[in-house]
Amino acid sequence: MSTFHTTRRVEFRDTDAAGIMHFSAFFTKMEEAEHELLRSIGQSVYSRSKDGRLISWPRVAAECRYRGPAHFEDILDIAVHLERMGTSSVTFAFTFHRGDDLIAEGRITTVCCRLVEGSKPEPIPIPPEIREQLQRYLVVA
Amino acid sequence: MSTFHTTRRVEFRDTDAAGIMHFSAFFTKMEEAEHELLRSIGQSVYSRSKDGRLISWPRVAAECRYRGPAHFEDILDIAVHLERMGTSSVTFAFTFHRGDDLIAEGRITTVCCRLVEGSKPEPIPIPPEIREQLQRYLVVA
Amino acid sequence: MSTFHTTRRVEFRDTDAAGIMHFSAFFTKMEEAEHELLRSIGQSVYSRSKDGRLISWPRVAAECRYRGPAHFEDILDIAVHLERMGTSSVTFAFTFHRGDDLIAEGRITTVCCRLVEGSKPEPIPIPPEIREQLQRYLVVA
Amino acid sequence: MSTFHTTRRVEFRDTDAAGIMHFSAFFTKMEEAEHELLRSIGQSVYSRSKDGRLISWPRVAAECRYRGPAHFEDILDIAVHLERMGTSSVTFAFTFHRGDDLIAEGRITTVCCRLVEGSKPEPIPIPPEIREQLQRYLVVA
């Protein structure tokens, strides 16, 4: 099992009048890291399974715990792994560090859905070729 | 000619580490005011003309001049009028006041477009029934 | 025990390319509702306790569960109550409805801190006059 | 005269329900590019002049013209130069390209200010050491 790593700088728009990165900005950065992980395995938010179905991953839950403040221009290391992969759902776990300091820990749960024009997204089993690629980031208990 | 008025509070997420409303947040508030004006005349960002075409208004230009800072929880009065209405394009002009203080002045230019699935938005003359309703907010030179 | 209610419209900037309100936008709307609740009891994000200390409420945790999509121009009813009030910490619970449809449920945990220029926020017991006002929104188990 | 270059990917949160990058997101990306240029010459949004004064650059104007849509995951090349450098003010000019396609052109005007705790930012002449470093990005007419 390996962990996916990326970095993001705290941009000025990420900050608020308390002088620190706004708590909501951690969620967009988690999503950016998740999408970067997906691209690294040849997937995207919207992609096609081998059998031609249009796939997407709507979120069902998101959470974050804040351990310390991040400031403008800080560089944050974001580590991502899969905490759980069910039949259709995936839980990504994220940690944000600035150097050795833990800044935040978060989690996003998404469900693999088939998109059909004009219908609601329909949960489907994660296609085997995607499951195989995600496997490398899955924690082995 | 009349002016459309609405108000918006400066929310915490609108602020930045300088302790004031971020300059980009004026653009989203201008858009909110524009959409509120459109709703007030029975239109929306996406609406149908009388003859059934799906209409939208992509932006071609946006600008803002900043006259003074706005702070968290300030209530801003936003006044909107039409500075110009061409065959296809409309320029909305906005002013932001906090009480008597001018905070910012902005402008958004949009083009009336017909949306057709799978094609690029196609500029069309503003449908007469929409033109008539927008007229009331048009500055008479 | 009573519940605090407010409403927010889904603005265009709240949406994303999936055509629905972005999952991160629920967190800023939760914060807006929390601040509105605080204002309703004469408090703010920054306020002074009776004995003159400058008080603020940094977040330690935030979460949201998504039950259904919200679309541009939807009007969302946001209900807020206090799920728990400890010595220093408060957990606000939020539900988002569009009419009878549950759209999302969330939670933000904040800690009452004393702000002193140049130092880190220091957790303090919630001042009695603020505790008393928050009490009315606290769930009685 | 040289031009400063950076790139940004269109992240999912940058998009809106029209399926394209929201017009306001160009302003935050312009600011990110401006800050990156400042860092490249050893400056920041907040920095100290050689004689010890705390300097910042509040915006007085911002504008953008939209030439074509940007989509999720597009990589945008952002080019920045100084269009004008007055005694106190600087106008940055930006272009966004995706490959050879021009996506947008923008401009931000900022004023060099001295920050003194508890007072309003006071415009000052751009300190000579900063002026000299900015010079390399200034268009020579």
Q: Give the pLDDT confidence score for residue A141 in this predicted structure.
A: 63
Q: Give the pLDDT confidence score for residue C54 in this predicted structure.
A: 86
Contact between B39 and C73 using a beta-carbon 8 Å cutoff? yes
Q: What is the pLDDT of residues A71-126, one digit of tens each?
A: 999 999 999 999 999 999 999 999 999 999 999 999 999 999 998 877 888 999 99
Between D119 and B91, whose confidence is greater? B91
Residue C28 distance to chain A (closest CA, Å): 7
Question: C12 and C19 in contact (C-beta within 8 Å)?
Answer: no
Residues whose CB is less than 8 angstroms from the CB of residue A4 and which lie 6 or more positions away in sequence, other chains included: A33, A36, A37, A40, A79, A80, A81, A137
pLDDT band at D141 (very low <50, low <70, confident <90, very high): low
Q: What is the pLDDT of residues D80-139, one digit of tens each?
A: 999 999 999 999 999 999 999 999 999 999 999 998 877 888 999 999 999 999 999 999
DSSP class of residue C30 equals H
How many Å apart are CA A131 and CA A55, to the nearest integer? 13
Q: Give the pLDDT confidence score for residue D140 in this predicted structure.
A: 79
Phi/psi for C29 (5° steps) reads -70, -35
Of the partner residues C23, C56, C59, the one whose CB lies closest to the CB of residue A59: C23
Token pair in block for residue A25: 């900005």
Contact between B63 and D63 using a beta-carbon 8 Å cutoff? yes
| CA B49 to chain centroid | 20
Of the partner residues D23, D28, D59, the one whose CB lies closest to the CB of residue B62: D23
The nearest alpha carbon in chain B to A70 belongs to: B17
Strands B113-114 and D54-56, by their bridges, are: unpaired
Burial D31-42 (b: 16+ CB within 10 A, else e): bbbbbbbbeebe
Strands B47-48 and B4-9, by their bridges, are: unpaired
> Residues B128, B131, B136, B138: is their CA dihedral positive or negative?
negative
SS3 D27: helix
Q: Give the pLDDT confidence score for residue D108 in this predicted structure.
A: 98
How many residues in chain B? 141
How many Å apart are CA B64 and CA B105, to the nearest integer? 6
Q: Give the pLDDT confidence score for residue B54 in this predicted structure.
A: 86
Measured between beta carbons, the chain B residues lying within 8 angstroms of A20 are: 17
The nearest alpha carbon in chain C to A56 belongs to: C18
Residues whose CB is less than 8 angstroms from the CB of residue B141 and which lie 6 or more positions away in sequence, other chains included: none
The helix or strand, by DSSP H or E, that contains position C8, with its residue range, turns out to be: strand C4-9
Locus of tokens 């992609």 = A47
Rg (CA), chain D: 16
Compute CA distances B94 → A80, B5, B66, D22, D28, whole Å. Answer: 43, 10, 12, 19, 20
Q: What is the pLDDT of residues D8-59, one digit of tens each?
A: 999 999 999 988 999 999 999 999 999 999 999 988 877 778 888 888 899 9
Query: Which of D14, D46, D47, D66 is most worth mutating to test chain B (most B CB atoms within 10 A of its CB)?
Result: D66
Question: B115 and B56 in contact (C-beta within 8 Å)?
Answer: yes
Q: What is the 3-state secondary structure (H, E, C) of chain A?
A: CCCEEEEEECCHHHECCCCCECCCHHHHHHHHHHHHHHHHCCCCCCEECCCCCEEECCEEEEEEEECCCCCCCCEEEEEEEEEEECCCEEEEEEEEEECCEEEEEEEEEEECEECCCCCCCEECCCCHHHHHHHHCCECCC
Domains along chain A with CATH numbers:
4-137 (3.10.129.10)
Q: What is the pLDDT of residues B10-29, one digit of tens each?
A: 999 999 998 899 999 999 99
Of the partner residues D18, D56, D61, the one whose CB lies closest to the CB of residue B66: D61
Q: Give the pLDDT confidence score for residue A119 in this predicted structure.
A: 82
Contact between C56 and A23 using a beta-carbon 8 Å cutoff? no
Across B1-141, where does the E strand assignment appear?
4-9, 47-48, 54-56, 59-66, 75-85, 89-98, 101-111, 113-114, 122-123
Q: Hey, is the C-beta of A120 within 8 angstroms of any chain D C-beta?
A: no
Is ipTM over 0.90?
yes
Residue B129 distance to chain D (closest CA, Å): 24
Q: Which amino acid, one-letter code, is at A85? A: M
Residue D128 distance to chain B (closest CA, Å): 24
Measured between beta carbons, the chain D residues lying within 8 angstroms of C71 are: 17
Q: Hey, is the C-beta of D16 within 8 angstroms of any chain C C-beta?
A: yes
How many Å apart are CA C64 and CA C94, to the nearest integer? 9
Token pair in block for residue A14: 């990420």
Give me the average pLDDT of each 10-residue run along chain C (141 residues). Answer: 95 93 98 96 81 89 97 97 97 98 98 86 93 93 63
pTM of whole model > 0.90?
Answer: yes
Q: Hey, is the C-beta of A27 within 8 angstroms of any chain B C-beta?
A: no
pLDDT band at B141 (very low <50, low <70, confident <90, very high): low
Measured between beta carbons, the chain A residues lying within 8 angstroms of C31 are: 23-24
Q: Hey, is the C-beta of C135 within 8 angstroms of any chain A C-beta?
A: no
Q: Give the pLDDT confidence score for residue C141 in this predicted structure.
A: 63
Q: Hey, is the C-beta of C31 within 8 angstroms of any chain B C-beta?
A: yes
**If we measure between CA atoms, which residue out of C25, A121, C73, C66 comes closest to residue D15?**
C25
The helix or strand, by DSSP H or E, that contains position C39, with its residue range, turns out to be: helix C25-40
Of the partner residues B24, B58, B63, the one whose CB lies closest to the CB of residue D24: B24
Compute CA distances B52 → A138, B86, B118, whole Å. Answer: 51, 22, 18
| CA C78 to chain centroid | 10
Taking residues A33-56, report their average pLDDT.
87
Cα A93–A105–C38 angle (5° rounding)? 125
How many Å apart are CA A42 and CA C89, to the nearest integer? 43
Q: Hey, is the C-beta of C66 within 8 angstroms of any chain A C-beta?
A: yes
Q: Give the pLDDT confidence score for residue A115 in this predicted structure.
A: 85
SS3 B125: coil
Taking residues D65-82, report their average pLDDT.
97
B43: left (phi over 0), alpha (psi -120 to 50) or beta: beta
Residue B39 distance to chain C (closest CA, Å): 10
Locus of tokens 């941009």 = A11
Q: Please report, rounded to a whole number, the percentage of residues in chain A having pLDDT higher than 70.
A: 99
Q: Is the pLDDT of residue B118 over 80?
A: no
How many Å apart are CA D3 and CA D40, to the nearest integer? 12
User: What is the arrangement of strands in the sheet containing D54-56, beginning at the earlier edge strand?
Assistant: D47-48, D54-56, D113-114, D122-123
Phi/psi for C47 (5° steps) reads -150, 170
**If we measure between CA atoms, which residue out of B113, B97, B18, C103 comes closest to residue D69?**
B113
Q: Give the pLDDT confidence score for residue A48 in this predicted structure.
A: 79
Name beta bridge partners: A80: A4, A94
The nearest alpha carbon in chain C to D73 belongs to: C17
Question: C61 and C106 in contact (C-beta within 8 Å)?
Answer: no
Contact between C63 and A63 using a beta-carbon 8 Å cutoff? yes
Name beta bridge partners: B10: none
User: What is the arrangement of strands in the sheet containing B122-123, beginning at the earlier edge strand?
Assistant: B47-48, B54-56, B113-114, B122-123
Question: A22 and A15 in contact (C-beta within 8 Å)?
Answer: yes
User: Mean pLDDT of all residues in chain D?
Assistant: 93
Q: What is the pLDDT of residues B31-89, one digit of tens each?
A: 999 999 999 998 887 778 888 888 889 999 999 999 999 999 999 999 999 999 999 99
